[in-house]
Amino acid sequence: MAFLYLKALHIIFIVTWFAGLFYIVRLFIYQTEASERSEPDRSILIKEYKRNSKRLWFGITWPSAILTFIFGIWVLLQVPSYLSQGFMHIKLTFVFFLYIYHFACHRIYNQLQQDNYKYKSQLLRIWNEVATVLLVGIVFIIVLKNALSMVWGLAGLIIFTVLLMLAIRIYKKIRESK
């Protein structure tokens, strides 16, 4: 019974972590676009986006990433046989890339807090979808486990990514036409 509580807590913090990752990049986009506006809008918006980013990043996203890690390790300690299964190696590889994504977002967060705008909003929109691709990959791997052929899984993930990038381009054209 305790194992199910651990697993539930792990899933809860995964959800809140992803919510934070999805929204923080949206705030990066908004702040970057605000930096191109004229005063006084520019100063007012940037101040608000920085404040909201700080609250989200350190109040939700970082704690959720840490608690996801802690409860994930705890679940693995309860069922060490998971580590001998191939699907878990693939899932943990995706999770590793998710933490790299998280640290890259932290770097962008620090740059924006210092008014260093290295990336255009369009690139940040694409960056925002990296978390989506990782989420889809992780969920399919963990749900389908060994039933998922590596070839079909990889093909599906590539197709999903291409469709996502196509949707971003279409959205950009729609935004530019308005």
Q: Which residues are annotated as a binding site for heme?
A: 10, 91
Q: Rounded to whole angstroms, how far apart are CA atoms 55 and 122?
A: 24
Q: Please, what's the b/e burial string for 160-172 (b: 16 or more CB within 10 A of its CB; e: otherwise)?
A: ebeeeeeeeeeee
Q: Say which residue the tokens 């990959």 belong to.
A: 137
Annotated binding residues = 10, 91
The answer to whether the beta carbons of residues 56 and 27 sit under 8 Å apart is yes
Question: Residue 58 has what DSSP assignment?
Answer: I
Phi, psi of 49 (to 5 degrees): -65, -40
d(Cα 178, Cα 172) in Å, to the nearest integer? 10
